[in-house]
Structure 1
Amino acid sequence: MKIKKTKGIVKKLYKELKQVKRYGEEMAALSDEELKFKTTEFRKRYHDGEDLDHLLPEAFAAMCEADKRVLGMFPFDVQILAGIAMHHGYLAEMNTGEGKTLTATCPMYLNGLTGKGAILVTNNEYLALRDAEEMGPAYRFMGLKVAAGVKRDTDDKFENEEKKKIYNCDIVYTTHSALGFDYLINNLVKSANDRFMRDFYFIIIDEADSVLLDSASTPLVISGAPRVQSNLYDMADFFVRTLQENLDYEVEEKNVWFTEKGLEYAESYFGIDNIFDPKYFEIYRHLVLALRANKIIEKGTEYMISESGEVALIDASSGRMLKGVKLRGGQHQALECKEKVEITQENRSMASITYQNFFSMFPKMAGMSGTIYDAKDELYDVYGKKVVVIPTNNPIQRVDCPDWFFSDSKKQFEAAIRLAVKKHETGQPVLIVTTMISDTEILSHLLVREGIPHSVLNANNAFWEADIIKEAGQMGAMTVATSMAGRGTDIKLGPGVKELGGLAVIGVGRMLNIRDERQARGRAGRQGDPGYSRFIVSLEDDIVEKGTDPEKLKKYIDGKRRISSRRIKKIVNGAQRTNEEMGVTNRKNSKDYDVVLQLERKLMYETRDKLLDGGTIPWEKLIDISMENLDRFLKSSKTLVWSDLNRYLLDNISYRMDNEVKTINLQNKARVKAYVKAKVQQSLEEKLEMIGSKNGMNDFIRVAALSAIDEAWIEQVDYLQQLQGAVSGRSSAQRNIIYEYQGEALESFRKMEVRIKQNIIRNVLLSEVSMDKKSKLHIILP
């Protein structure tokens, strides 16, 4: 869906800006104590029924004055304008260097007044901690509580009580991944006291394009207990290595699937009649994992082998090695098998959510970024959010030069170094930006050969990289960095640099999308400073090689056929467009896959919350469930015999048998049901007597039900993670794989419901229960 330009929205925002400015003089005339008291006044007015939109002009004016007094910075009109836009739920495009950190203080303050919590998420721990530390004094001056939801050392975890204090603050700065994982963990707790989050209200997403788009295809997954290790990895890997492309399997862009011939070969190889039969699910799943590992997941760009000999994933947008992150559903183990390294334990997926569904849970969601307008249509389709372009405070003085095009990387890198040296010789600072870590190493080697001192940033450590990137605008500085290194940190120009033309950004290689290129160019020319940018690309850029026919490229790169710059430009830009379209498709698929899980997750979490908040299951309902379970058992037994009934009673109702059972006519189903119902009633009464109180009994039933729900839900999440990988290999049969996935997921949910009902009754009737001297309940589940 195409959305119209937003000039009308900006006009309305300017009207509100004028109202804020009108209150500015009034706030400036207040003493510190009077200004602080405004928070108490605003809160009272809000709780008395005045809405935030009505409070906005005064509250924004008060916060602007606090920023000036405490931080020494008064927000520019365009910053106030962007703040108003975000309060109203828009995504604001603000040029790099326009001061997004200060911009957020006004909408965060206004929404923090509600007592419901305002959260700002950004890309990394460094930025979250920096913003909380730098902006915190202004919020505290105004009487609001502020906290950071991350620590510098990611291995250092918060305790539950610490998390409670953090999320009970008016203002929280954190990362998108930390917040998402906290949400999943918060819905795995065993008691109400262990919950540390309150209901979501208002969120601002910094670097919103990176979070809502670039990170959106990979769901957050919490892993738990190890799965029994499969011996199918080696067998599947060996089998896949015998396959022939276009005969047994087909590859298209980043998708791979078996042909009909390939499926027939697999059935013959493993001696099975129908590979899609549910009983062969594990074989088929491992074949798909091995096929993907060997044919489309690329070493060097998507993963690497670390110094310790482990398969380590690479962040596509930053080139950073992702510490401790693994592909889900057995894909990581398939890669390990391919690389002949030790196969690590495959863990169950206990909880999962995509960013699309996670951020859509906030009643008020806004964001800001320097490069978000290019994706406005997708953002509207997925999140229902409009993008508003905020004017710059000063006109942009940066000179963006036309790209240079080359047939091969050797000429490309030589041209980049020549341009960098030429700029460097004048004293002008230079920032060379690449898409890949390997390119930064090549450029560094060439600069060493030229005898030019320089810094190399590979997006490995956000903390020290931020310190280095700050200095990239100093006279004579030479910096080589991946596109994401130091993102979110301003590069300020040193003395005398403006006169030399400001910072020169040289981009080497066509980037994954236009947004990344705009982000790179935006490193220069901040706040009306002069600047320079130029991209130098070639047919050997990674994105071009992935998105173009290799045979066609080879002729041009080898020099066997002449090619014009115009033709190169067409091929390179076409490859980038293809990559962007693939990104949109992948994100759409990710959302479609998660639709079923989203609905199931909502239902399960609501059920858990009711139990945690004191709800229980009445005796009558427990008896109804036990009868429902029995009906299912009786239907499955065509001819009921004593041994079957005894086994059922021992597994589900009671470990104690009595002689009466032998007198029952098994053909009389009504008599069997009456007997079992009486046993259920008797067992419940014995439990009540043992516990000694109705409240204690309710607590016991609650624990038993939660355990049954959690066990089944974890199995369901884990199965759906595996199912996603398995169905992706079914395209060969002209199937709608999303439709098939949703159908199978729904069927597995129905089976899960049955399993929950069976386990609730088992847990209630077969658990060992006792009370200690302090009247504390002890439960041993069956």
Structure 2
Amino acid sequence: MNKIDKKLHFLLGKVKEECKKVKNLSDYELKNKTNEFKRRLADGETTEDLLPEAFAVCCEADYRVLGMFPFDVQILGGIALHLCYLAEMNTGEGKTLTATMPLYLNGLTGKSSILVTANEYLAIRDAEEMGKVYEFLGLSVKAGVTRDTNEHLNNDQKKEIYAADIVYTTHGSLGFDYLLNNLVHSKEDRFMRELYYVIIDEADSVLLDSASMPLVISGSPRVQSNLYGITDFFVTTLVEDEHYIVEDNKVWLTDKGIEYAQRYFRIENLYSKENFDVLRHVVLALRAHYLMDKDVDYVVTDSGEIVLLDKSTGRKMNGMKLRGGSHQAIEEKERLKLSQEQRSVASITYQNLFNLFPKMSGMSGTIADGKDELLEVYHKQVVVIPPNKPMARKDLPDKYFKTSEEQFDAVIKETVKRHNTGQPVLLIASLISDTEMLSKLLVQENIEHSVLNANNAFWEAEIIKEAGQKNVVTVATSMAGRGTDIRLGSGVKELGGLCVLGIGRMNNTRDERQARGRAGRQGEPGVSIFYTSLEDDVCEILGDDFLEKYIEKDKHISKRRIKKLINKSQKIKSESSVFQRKNAVDYDSVMQRQRTIMYKTRNDLLDGKSLDENYLLSICEDNIKDFVKSNKKLDSYGVHRYVLDNLSYRLQEMDESTKNQKDYLIQYSKMTFNTKKKSIGDRFSEYCRLCTLRALDDGWVEEVDYLQQLQAAISGRSSAQRNLLFEYQREARISFEDMEKSIKKAMIRNILLGEVSFGKDNEMIILYP
């Protein structure tokens, strides 16, 4: 037993001792423990000091309210979650009940305690079911999402949600709320409390599979580019390996491709600053054509819209768009009407979002496989919690086939054979297209079945619950109904339990373990078999030439060789995903550093930090010095133009004879500054603060949008054998310095040229220049 396990078991012993004591308390005495714990925390005790007693109280409340007393392994899991480990607990081991203990303990602190889960259904279900326990013990609980995804919560509703002791929500909602909370214009509009403790359900899916997908809030539309059509046509004229190379889910131009592009667009240097837009659109078109596949990465709806697919879930991501023009490039490729390209106003990845929590923990049935990466990226250790009962599921060896036709044929035969005995069968595929194919084949066999494509978490949960009943056949993507227990119907145990048939080798072993884990919960019988072929999605990595050689030309290949090739493909795919995620961390850390600086400055301003007037005048002076320095041949027209654009809408006569242009402008700015101060009076400080906030927001929106585009465009530089991350960091640093300058110019313009009026309740209304 290692050091961590010893600590967990030692604390488990302490909790069990306390459980004996609280058993005899009346309901009133048990509820009153919450007030006692809060008092003790206020007097200087820590959550670690309270852990044995608080866990015992929560266990007893779980039993009295829900009729379920946590097993020892669930208490162990709860301790691991409180100590901020990532806990692996097998599917069906009761992770929902496990979370009640650490959430109750951290909810006592008066700081935010949040559990994020995979979808709205689970967040609402768990807040309602487990909420009864917290409410019994005197803590408040809220769900941060609504049943109707089209219903938007307003700031007051969100404030009420995040003020609760315990919040159940989804990772997407939490991420967007964090970004929106940092876009408000007054401190009264802020609705989130400081981040403190979080438990991430299905943590491997969030921290690994979805980690590098950024959450982006779009704002005002940008001027629509006319380069999509011309660059789309250009990339269709390119020859692979001669003009461009595709490798590890990246695409870039070769030296020959760059020369061809420069001739085609009649430019001298594709990578010069003035050709940034052309380069960006070429890269977008390359990626749309050679990295994004229809019906795998996106679908085209009947109304002519591009809807993205979440590859890890197969779920349609309605309303989500790719950033930085990628969406429009796909629309151009598919010959659809281009949607309006939006500016990115704010952005964050899950990796950075969850690293903002001082206390972060997570749980999943399959997280141990990613333990090395999780330690490196999040500095988190994985603890494997043993099952309550020994596992009785039989995981049969994978079956290997050359073609998908043989593969699907074998799956259907196995389904028919088992269905004829009455045994329930759950067919799990990674791709939506595979679930549709399985459904067609089952219809041909006259087998009634349900198909779940991860489109509606609410009714899928209801259907998946029934997947363990006699004679039931269910076809699902790997994520459909995840988090919902499949209970066996009467007589099913005798038939061998639920049979899970996996179609196609998945991107990593975690997804496969997740699929197998749908059967054999809590020591019940079950069986799982995976059917794989050389036409599985992961085998694309072997290359079209290789697959054509063996499949289309009907060349013999041994089962042993097929097995070796499929395993090798999965290993390469898995390693490639790890590399991409680490790469995304490095790229996003640049944005994270800038975001931290900007959000801190913004919060200081919202909280009423006043700006020193001498500091504002010194900025004004610096702006003028920069202007004079960059305009060597400055005449009186240029000086007057600067005054009208930056200092005052009315030119006032001043004695120019004794002044050079720089001194004249500095003196003029001081005069207009004092005039403005007099006209506004005692609220001048508030006025300067609001003007600065506006300049800050405008500058940051431009920066976020530029960095989004830069990351896309810079991937086209691979052929130059440069260090791409270094290039990105360098460009980002330059653009941050440029943004600082433009914010300082905008601040002074806003202050000197802004028009002030006062609304109801004497609210200051500013018309900005």
Same topology, TM > 0.5: yes
Using the alignment, how far apart are the partners of 1:396 and 1:70 within structure 2? 29
Q: Deviations over 1:137-164 (max 9, x none)?
A: 0000000010000001111011101101
Structure-2 separation of matches of 1:37 and 1:770:
54
Distance 1:253 1:774, change over 3 A: closer
For each residue in 1:489-530, what CA deviation from the matched residue of structure 2 results, as whole angstroms up to 9, or x when unmatched? 010001111111110001111111100000000000000000
Corresponding position of 1:95:
90
Structure 1's consecutive aligned runs of 4 or more residues displaced over 4 angstroms after TM superposition are: none
In structure 1, distance between residues paired with 2:131 and 2:481:
22
Q: Is the 8 A contact 1:405 1:565 kept in 2?
A: yes
Aligned residue number for residue 507 of structure 1: 502
CA distance 1:244–1:772, change in 2 (3 Å): closer
The match for 1:114 is: 109
2:339 corresponds to which letter in structure 1?
T
Deviation of 1:247 (Å): 1.3
SS in 1 for 2:87: strand
**1:709–1:773 CA distance, 2 compared to 1 (3 A):** closer
Q: Which residue of 1 aligns with 2:209?
A: 214
2:393 alignment partner, SS class: strand
How far residue 559 of structure 1 moved from its aligned partner, in angstroms, is 5.9
Alpha-carbon displacement from aligned partner over 1:537-560 (angstroms, at most 9, x marks no partner)? 11111111x211222222322363
Aligned residue pairs total: 769
Where 2:716 maps in the other structure, the secondary structure is coil
Asked whether 1:564 is paired with 2:558, we answer yes
Which blocks of at least 5 consecutive residues in structure 1 are unaligned?
1-5
The secondary structure found in structure 2 opposite 1:730 is helix
- Cα deviations by residue, 1:614-636 (Å, 9 ceiling, x for unpaired): 11211111100001111111111
2:649 corresponds to = 655
Counterpart of 1:663 in 2: which secondary structure?
coil
Q: Distance in 2 between matches of 1:452 and 1:560?
A: 32
Per the alignment, residue 178 of structure 1 pairs with 173
SS of alignment partner, residue 104 of structure 1? helix
Alignment CA distance shift 1:579-1:772 (3 Å): closer
Partner of 2:589: 595
Aligned to 2:737: 750
Distance 1:659 1:197 in 2: 51
Q: 1:590 to 1:36 in 2, by over 3 A?
A: same
**Is structure 2 residue 461 aligned with structure 1 residue 466?**
yes
CA contact (8 A) 1:122 1:128 kept: yes
Q: Equivalents in 1 of 2:307, 2:529: separation in Å? A: 33
CA contact (8 A) 2:402 2:551 kept: yes
Percent of aligned positions with the same letter in both sequences? Answer: 58
Separation of aligned partners in 1, 2:326 and 2:521: 43
Note closer, same or farther for the CA distance 1:655–1:504 as it changes in structure 2 (3 Å cut): same
Stretch of structure 1 that moved more, 556-565 or 293-302: 556-565
Measured after TM superposition, the shift of residue 776 of structure 1 is 3.2
Deviations along 1:643-666, whole A, 9 cap, x unmatched? 111111111111222222543543
C-alpha displacement of 1:312: 1.2
What is the aligned counterpart of 2:573 among 579, 588, 592? 579
- Residues 335-350 of structure 1: matches in 2 within 5 Å? 335-350=330-345
* 1:762-773 equivalence runs, <5 A: 762-771=749-758
The partner residue of 2:381 within 381, 386, 398 is 386
Q: 1:132 to 1:439 in 2, by over 3 A?
A: same
Unaligned runs of at least 5 residues, structure 2: none
Pairing 1:133–2:120 present: no
Contact 2:143 2:161 in 1 (8 A): yes
Q: What amino acid does structure 2 have at the position aligned with 1:752?
A: M
Q: Distance in 2 between matches of 1:359 and 1:746?
A: 25
Residues 36-86 of structure 1 show CA distances to partners (whole Å, capped at 9, x for unaligned) of 000000011011100111100000000000000011111100000000001
Counterpart-to-counterpart distance in 1, 2:181 and 2:760: 31
Secondary structure (helix, strand or coil) at the match of 1:728 reads: helix
Structure 1 residue 551 corresponds to structure 2 residue 548: no
How far the C-alpha of 1:770 sits from its partner, in A, is 3.0
Is 1:627–2:621 an aligned residue pair? yes
- The answer for the alignment partner of 1:264 in structure 2 is 259
Q: In 2 relative to 1, CA 654–559 (structure 1 residues): closer, same or farther, beyond 3 Å?
A: closer
What do you get for the CA RMSD once the two structures are aligned?
1.2
Measured in 2, the distance between the counterparts of 1:611 and 1:776 equals: 17
State the match for 1:676 in structure 2: 665
Which residues in structure 2 correspond to 1:629-778 (within 5 Å)? 629-660=623-654, 662-666=656-660, 672-673=662-663, 675-693=664-682, 696-771=683-758, 775-778=762-765
Cα deviation, residue 774, structure 1: 5.2
Which residue of the partner structure matches residue 227 of structure 1?
222
Equivalent-residue separation in structure 2 for 1:603 and 1:426 (angstroms): 64
Give the structure 1 partner of residue 410 of structure 2: 415
Letter in 1 for 2:575: E
Distance 1:550 1:282 in 2: 33
Distance 1:773 1:71, change over 3 A: closer
1:355 counterpart (346, 350, 359): 350
Secondary structure in structure 1 of the residue aligned to 2:193: coil
Q: Cα gap change, 1:399/1:621 in structure 2, threshold over 3 Å: closer, same or farther?
A: same
Alignment of 1:46-85 (within 5 A): 46-85=41-80
2:276 alignment counterpart: 281
The aligned counterpart of 2:287 is 292
Paired residue for 1:238, among 230, 233, 247? 233
Pairs within 5 Å for 1:484-523: 484-523=479-518
- Output the amino acid matched with 1:329: G
1: CA distance between counterparts of 2:169 and 2:416?
40
1:615 and 2:602 correspond: no
CA contact (8 A) 1:222 1:349 kept: yes
User: What is the rounded CA distance, in whole Å, between the counterparts of 2:229 and 2:419 in structure 1?
Assistant: 53
CA distance in 2, matches of 1:223, 1:175: 20
Letter in 2 for 1:565: K
Q: Does 1:19 align with 2:14?
A: yes
Match of 2:142 in 1: 147
Is the Cα contact below 8 Å between 2:228 and 2:328 reproduced in 1? yes
Matches for 1:31-42 after TM superposition, within 5 Å = 31-42=26-37
CA–CA separation in structure 1 for the residues paired with 2:234 and 2:257 = 11
1:181-217 per-residue CA deviation (whole Å, 9 max, x = no partner) reads 0000000111101100111000000000001011112
Amino acid aligned to 1:684: F
- Secondary structure in 2 aligned to 1:157? coil
Q: Distance in 2 between matches of 1:137 and 1:342?
A: 50
- Between the aligned partners of 1:630 and 1:554, the Cα distance in structure 2 is 67
Q: Name the CA distance, whole Å, in 1 between partners of 2:650 and 2:186.
A: 31
Tell me if 1:449 matches 2:444.
yes
**Aligned partners of 1:592 and 1:189: how far apart in 2?**
28
Give the deviation of 1:773 after TM superposition. 7.8
1-structure distance, mates of 2:553, 2:253: 36
CA distance in 1, matches of 2:508, 2:561: 20
**Displacement of 1:309 after TM fit?**
1.1
1:513–1:576 Cα contact (<8 Å) kept: yes
The letter of the residue matching 1:163 is K
State the SS of the aligned residue for 2:39.
helix
Partner residue, 1:3: none
- Secondary structure of 2:762's counterpart equals coil
Name the CA shift for 1:773/1:296 in 2 (closer, same or farther; >3 Å). Answer: closer
Q: For 1:660, what is the secondary structure of its paired residue?
A: coil
Alignment counterpart, residue 605 of structure 1, candidates 599, 605, 620 = 599
Amino acid at match of 1:14: H
CA contact (8 A) 1:691 1:771 kept: no
Q: Which residue matches 2:25? A: 30
Aligned 8 A contact 2:624 2:666 in 1: no
Letter in 2 for 1:688: K
- Deviation string, structure 1 residues 439-467 (Cα, Å, up to 9, x no partner): 11111111111111111111111100000
